[in-house]
Chains A and B, each alone.
Chain A
Amino acid sequence: MKRSAFFLPLVALAACLGLVACSDKPAGVEPLVVGMDLTYPPFETKDTNGNPFGVSVDMVTALSDHLGRPVEIKPMAFNGLIAALKTDSIDLVLSSMTANDERRKSIDFSDPYVRTGLSILAGNSSGVKSAADLDQPGRRLAVQIGTTGEMYAREHINNAKLVSFDKTQACVMEVVNKRADAFLFDQLSVYKFSQRNPDTTVGLLEPFQEEFWAFGIRKGNDELRAEVNDFLAAFGTAGGFENLAETHLAEEKAMLESMGIPFLFVTKQSSQPTQSKQPSP
């Protein structure tokens, strides 16, 4: 009696495991799997109900309509995205990823859709006023592992001490706590974090390195790359990016324009020229 009562839940659980493991794939068209790190508002984040939300999520929906193919968002950590792409876990990366040469060694990129840059979240009392103040002996600079801020620092910072963290939040806390003088990160996030911590930090928003964001695509998957480029051109022409800016980035857009910094979205594609509504330098 006792023994059977003990084993029953075991058997039930094993059955559950088996069922869950087998019930993964619904029949029909294979969905296009897009990897995103959902910790990067307002581009990739979650709404308060826990559903994926943001600029990139809307873009993926539009891409799904354009291709006539279902799309599935697979949340993962940013520094796992490229590995996931290379090992076929996902088909595309859309996670505010900068297309740069270092990453081009392992994956391909679509045409760019966002132009932005590296900026500085500086401590209020750090004395950092511009990028020229960064590489000095005695300085401590925080960077996030796997980001372009880290890549820049590894290449250009020789005198200051670097501290690298896995999480954006840890880098911000280093500056808030004055353990680091500055955090090298992208412009919009720096703006948000400086707003969030006005007593301890200041955002130096003028980008010191220009960057372009693009879809990440597995090397050699030229068919999908052509389809994505096609989508970006069509989406830009149809005013899709203006709509996204209005929905998700109204405050940021106003801020950048007031500073004379051109706004993010690249509507003029190098391969598919369409008329840009934003001034481009």
Chain B
Amino acid sequence: MEQKRWNTGGELLVATALILAVAACSAVVFLQLNYQWNWGVMTKYWRVFLMGLGLTVLISLGALVVSLVVGVTLAAAQLSGSVVLRWSARAYVELVRGTPLLVQLLIGYFVVAQALGLDNEFFIGVVLLSVFAGAYLAEILRGGVASVSASQIEAARAVGFDRAQIFRFVTAPQALRRVLPAMTGQFVSLVKDSSLLSVIGIQEFTYQAQVANAATFNSLEGFIPLALGYLILTLPMGGVAAWMERRLRYED
């Protein structure tokens, strides 16, 4: 007991020192900057920021669901018995993971969306982001399923489980638990990657922050609320993931 209290005090001390050090470093860095901040005129543009944040939330939510569908489909294809399906999924994953998102967005918007006659920015944003994030999710999911050892599958088969039962009762619960942290990371990335949609004129959060910056002839002010806004979106995702991990925990 005594020991633990001392530890807590020590930890508190270290934490305080850390916070002070970070604050001091930030202060030094920002004071180096010879730039006159001008927040007054910026605050008038809160509606513009809010509109952008709203679209980013919608696109992220949509892409979260659609990319999961894409990811599950691709992972299933890669684990399937069909050679054609496996190779197609493999090719998709390599193509999407191996090229920059920026290039995918530009081609997806100016070439593909144009050819298909699409001009709804929400729809285009969701699809392009899902195509990208789906490839990463597929790999995470496939890795999770592959991580369940063959001996467990053989044991399950030995006691008479069929394929569906093995997946439902042996593979899936363990895989799900293992892929959760990586999937959370991917979804957090997805939210932030949506900022690149600004390059194709989708008026999400980053685009609107740039508009507000430009309208006020400011250079940096708009990026601070931008960073805070993304944090507000991504921090709860970590919380939800931690809660789900606790729910799915077994064996301890």
Contact = CB atoms under 8 A, between A and B. Distances in A.
Nearest to A39: B214
A125 to B, nearest CB: 11
Contact of B35 (A75, A77, A83, A200): A200
Nearest to B119: A24
A268 B208 CA distance: 37
Interface residues of B, number: 42
A13 B69 CA distance: 12
Nearest to A13: B65
Interface residues of A, number: 43
A38 B218 CA distance: 15
- Residue among A13, A20, A50 with max Cβ neighbours from chain B (10 Å): A50
Contacts of B16: none
Interface string A49-89: 11000000000000000000000001111001001100111
A168 B220 CA distance: 12
A156 interface: no
Given A48-B47, A49-B48, A88-B114, 6 more contacts: A17-B62, A75-B207, A77-B198, A77-B199, A169-B214, A172-B219
Interface of B: 33-36, 38, 44-45, 47-48, 51, 61-62, 65-66, 69, 106, 110-111, 114, 118-120, 122-123, 126, 198-201, 203, 207-208, 210-215, 217-220
**6 tightest CB-CB pairs across the interface, nearest first?**
A76-B201, A39-B214, A169-B219, A196-B217, A45-B215, A50-B48
Interface of A: 9-10, 13, 16-17, 20-21, 24, 38-41, 45-46, 48-50, 74-77, 80, 83-84, 87-89, 167-170, 172-173, 176-178, 192-193, 195-197, 199-200
